[in-house]
Amino acid sequence: MPYHEEWKRVVLITTLVAGVLCLNYFTFYHMTYEHAFYRVLAYIPLILGSFWFGIKGAVSIATGVILLFLPYVMEHWHAFSLENFHEILEGVLFVVIALTLGVFLLSNITAHPARLSDNIIR
């Protein structure tokens, strides 16, 4: 993949992650439905990063999103409430999906190198 194409993809993923995090950080905490929707939007850069950069991209994006979202979770921590438990489980699910996507795509690339030689998504 040419360097400028890779750079464009990194900028797009970074912009998507920043946008999703801004939506979460700048929405009032009591707006739970909006926050739930915004957390689901965080899967878009994860999926794109997995397709474009494999397991390395998936793990990097999952780690970055979790680390950048952690201050928000810690600020609104309520003595391990049901909502906090849900957020922890969603973080674990985020990492599991990242690893699953990365491993799945890595196995497809190694199994079919001729078909997927240049890029996964063009």
Question: Could you tell me if residue 121 is inside a domain?
Answer: no
Across the range 94-104, mean pLDDT stands at: 85
Average pLDDT in the chain: 82
- Cα end-to-end span (Å), the chain: 10
**Total structural domains within the chain:** 1
- The larger pLDDT score, comparing residue 107 to residue 66, is at 66
Give the model's pLDDT for residue 1: 61
Q: How many Å apart are CA 101 and CA 106, to the nearest integer?
A: 8
Report the predicted TM-score, pTM, of the whole model to 2 decimal places.
0.76
> Do 29 and 76 meet the contact criterion of CB atoms below 8 Å apart?
yes
Confidence of residue 103 (pLDDT cuts 50, 70, 90): confident
Domain residue limits at 21 = 3-111
Percent of the chain surpassing pLDDT 90: 20
Question: Could you tell me if residue 96 is inside a domain?
Answer: yes
Question: Could you tell me if residue 122 is inside a domain?
Answer: no
Q: What is the DSSP string of 31-97?
A: -HHHHHHHHHHTHHHHHHHHHHHHHHHHHHHHHHHHHHHHHHHHHT--SS-HHHHHHHHHHHHHHHH
Question: Could you tell me if residue 118 is inside a domain?
Answer: no
Q: How many Å apart are CA 59 and CA 42, to the nearest integer?
A: 14
The tens digit of pLDDT for each residue in 40-97 reads 898 899 889 888 888 888 889 989 988 998 888 788 777 777 877 877 888 888 888 8
Question: Could you tell me if residue 54 is inside a domain?
Answer: yes
